[in-house]
A = this chain, B = another copy of it.
């Protein structure tokens, strides 16, 4: 009897099979496997990985013995069986992130996940040296999510060719959208694995408009084939999120109704139901986020007023993640020249509206044209330290916190947990030297002044109750924490 392979819960188990190389294995061959464990039954799509290799990737979510059997339209690949023992998860693997408490996120094991994310669209398309720099930067960063594109990007400060493409080329030099390039995907997957070990969610942007190669306009069949293929490859990684598009509304070649089909292709090939979103360009005509396959709102919001976060939260009853609100930097574009003070302010504003701030990005103008938002590399700005402070602050507070009617006024907002008696009040750009607040009756509170720019926490002496006056430092960007004794 063959020794049964042990696989950590939410880790990747691979069935690798030899199969036909003739014809076009990417289009001719169907492969899947059914994994069972007790009454659990998961159907997993396989994929061709080149050189006659076929792979079925599986992420077990239940400890115990899993058995599988393959299916294929090719006899050589059909009817293979085997089993694995799913053991306790590896240290640090909390499973995929799910929506929790309606407006929030938690890992599958219940650990709260507070998204503090960044964007580096084309970092995987850069040189190996630069990619290693990006990993080093991420390792020191507060970011637990990164927005990144499968396809290379053509845009200002990002005109270099990628090291490899997702497709093979035909004899005439054009891309063959029926033949994927496994070299590209294997390397992409190695990066996703490393991100996973680092505790970073790969928010995979599957489609985007910034393109000079034709990937944004491949046609219906190629679009669907691509989405099925990448989902089959990546769905078994616990740290993958599906971002159907960056700025779907700017993709002129796609009809609006096509996005429903795109989503369904991904859902069909993702038995784990990873988080799935569609990121907007303009806020006026967003995708219908009430559709059930949309897990959360992935929002671009460049305006001053953070109130739209609350509006969308209430409208859709789903988490609102601000993934883009302008980047810390100094370039020409209005979305790329925020001060770090402003980006920090926006992050807190979104959180205090009941949203999530995964909106870091950096666009300082540089002669070497290595701008983080496009290529990764080093970071130069002052907002990452503030977002680290924000993450630390939120992680030591009650979870989850939502918009609180208990405290708050026309000029400032608050989030809190009434259950835990824990509140955060944010005074934004204002600089009060004191503030009168009306605390929930019958409880006594401790107060902490949290300076989000200077990254200090000052415990105030005494206890507070009812209508009371709290002395503040007369500086902007102050959060006041009130916690029941």
Contact = CB atoms under 8 A, between A and B. Distances in A.
A148 B409 CA distance: 28
Contact of A433 (B365, B433, B436, B474): B365
A371 to B, nearest CB: 12
Contacts of A432: 330-332, 337
Most buried by B among A342, A412, A431: A431
How many copies are assembled? 2
A28 interface: no
A303 B428 CA distance: 13
Interface in A379-437: 409-412, 427, 429-436
Contacts of A334: 409-412, 430
Interface residues of A, number: 33
Interface string A438-450: 0000000000000
Contacts of A364: 433
B332 A429 contact: no
Contacts of A474: 330, 337, 365
A338 B303 contact: no
A89 interface: no
Nearest to A306: B304
A339 B476 CA distance: 7
A305 interface: yes
Contact of A331 (B329, B333, B427, B433): B433
Contact of A434 (B303, B332, B433, B435): B332
Nearest to A437: B332
Interface string A330-363: 1111110111001000000000000000000000
Contacts of A433: 330-331, 337, 364-365
Interface string A156-172: 00000000000000000
A303 B307 CA distance: 12
Contacts of A331: 432-434
A365 B338 CA distance: 31
Given A304-B305, A305-B303, A431 B337 contact: yes
A434 B338 contact: no
A301 to B, nearest CB: 13
B304 A435 contact: no
Nearest to A329: B431
Nearest to A411: B334
6 contacts: A331-B434, A332-B434, A337-B427, A337-B433, A337-B474, A342-B476
Q: Which 4 A-B pairs have the closest CB atoms?
A: A334-B411, A330-B433, A330-B474, A304-B304
Given A334-B430, A338-B429, 9 more contacts: A304-B304, A330-B432, A330-B433, A332-B435, A333-B411, A334-B412, A337-B427, A337-B432, A365-B433
